[in-house]
Amino acid sequence: MSADRERTFVMVKPDGVQRGLVGEIVGRLEARGLRLDGAKLLTIDRDLAEDHYAEHVDKPFFEDLVSFITSGPALAMVWSGQDATRQVRQMMGDTDPAVAAPGTIRGDFALDLGRNVIHGSDHEDPGANEREIDLFFDPDELVDYDRIDEPWVYE
C-alpha cells in the first residue's frame, strides 16, 4: 500500500468536542485502519469558516452554519488511506442525523441537522479534500509514516 493512499479532511465540530466525542470518533477512524496524518484543536474564525463553507454561501442556513462552526473549539484532522474520502463519508452517515443509519457516526451520536458532530470532505466534489486540507494545514504540519498494521489492513 502507498500508491492508493488518499488524504481527506475530517473535523470534529464544536458540538462533538463539547460532548466529549473526540475519542470515540478518532477511535472509530483509527480502528478502521485509516492513518492520522495531522491534527489541531482550534476555534475557527469567521474568515476561515466562510472559506470552508463557501459552497453554501447562498443557502438560507449559511449564517447559522458559520455561527455554529465558530462557536467553540473544533478538532481539525487529516486522515489517509485507500479511498479515504469516500470511506470516511460512509462512516459519517447522512448529513441529517435524523435519517443517518445506525452504526454511522451521525446515526449513533446526533439527532439534529445543525448539530451533526462531524465534517468530512465531500467525495463527490473532486479536489474538495485537498482544498480543505490546504485551508486548515501547512504542509509541514502533516506527516507521512508507516502504520505497523498496514500489511494486515491491506492485501
Cβ closest to ligand DAT, residue 80 vs residue 104: 104
Q: Which does 154 bind (CB under 5 to 8 A by kind): ligand DAT, Mg ion, none?
A: none
* Interface size with Mg ion, residues (CB under 5 A): 1
Helix-strand-coil split of the chain, %, nearest 5: 40, 20, 40
* Grid-cell match 454511522, residue found: 104
CB of 18 to Mg ion, least distance (A): 21
Distances (CA, A) of 107 to 5, 11, 22, 111, 117: 27, 17, 16, 8, 10
Cβ closest to Mg ion, residue 80 vs residue 129: 129
- Helices 128-136 and 84-92, interaxial angle, to 10°? 80
Cβ closest to ligand DAT, residue 40 vs residue 56: 56
Is 119 labeled as catalytic in the residue annotation?
yes
CB of 65 to ligand DAT, least distance (A): 5
